[in-house]
Amino acid sequence: MSIYFGNHFSREAFQFDSVGNHWTQELVTRPEGFPMYHYLQTESGSGCVSVKGKTILLEQGQGILFAPFVPHSYRAWEGRWITEFATFTGSMEPYLKTMIGTDDYLLIGEEKGAEIERVIAGAVKLFETTPGNTRQLSMDCYHLLLLFSEGIPHSAAAQPAWDKYVRPVVEQIESNYMEDLSAEQLAKSVYVSPQYLSRLFVRYVGCSVYEYLTNYRINQAKKLLMKRDRKIQEIAHDVGYTDASHFIVMFRKLTGMTPVEFRRLHI
């Protein structure tokens, strides 16, 4: 049995909160649901899932993705039930619903389940061998999320636009968010128009380039606000805002509170 937990201090857009396989599954009852997207798949045996008043039998290779806070329970059906699973987080977690859809749960069949099994096995192996490789783990996590998205190619090799345009820009944002970046500059770096790049971001990530950059900066600011000695003006500068007033406006727009209010609430 293998289970690994992600690095909560990682800056990656998408990451595993946990991932594992070859797991002897016992009874689980969650009347309040789980706080993150949670995927469960049968490796061998079979399991019985109860969700939204329905009873679903998960045979080998079949899986189910639960949306956050959806009450559910599951148990072995007959004999031993071996499962694999993943839970998802990251700085772009609020946009997962845009990528995956608004259903309370999503059922996965054997064909797609076979590829999901390969992705989870690869992520587990990466945790075992090079757990510090957060960038590749983030890519594996994103690949898995794509498999849950309708209308998007299910093979990483069939995503040239992601590899050629979106992925390099995501990496630029995550490495250089503290600099004076703009959607126009980022689009120019991959030789496409800002409009085309934003359409690709909406398709693959669920938001525009500007929204991704802004959300990423604000998430980094939240971490810096946990340090009492840091001034708001300094934090604004450290996450890419030359104007502290603009930073405060954007922070309030995304969180519903000012940076000072956020700090008072959390420390």
**Of 148, 180, 202, which closes a domain?**
148
Number of domains in the chain: 2
> How far lies 234's CA from each of 9, 172, 255, in Å?
20, 22, 19
108-156, pLDDT tens digit by residue? Answer: 999 989 999 999 998 898 888 876 677 777 778 888 888 887 544 444 4
Domain limits for position 6 = 2-148
Residue 122 lies in a domain: yes
For residues 153-179, give the mean pLDDT: 77
Q: CA triplet 147, 188, 136: central angle to 5 degrees? A: 35
CATH number of the domain bearing residue 190: 1.10.10.60
Domain C-terminal end among 129, 148, 167: 148
**153 lies in a domain?**
no
- Dihedral in degrees, nearest 10, Cα atoms 219, 221, 224, 225: -100
Query: Would residue 154 count as lying in a domain?
Result: no
Per-residue model confidence as pLDDT tens digits over 85-120:
999 886 666 667 766 777 899 999 999 899 999 999
Which residue type sits at 155?
S
For residue 230, pLDDT beyond 70: yes
CB atoms closer than 10 angstroms to residue 220: 19
Q: Which of 101, 125, 148 is the last residue of a domain?
A: 148
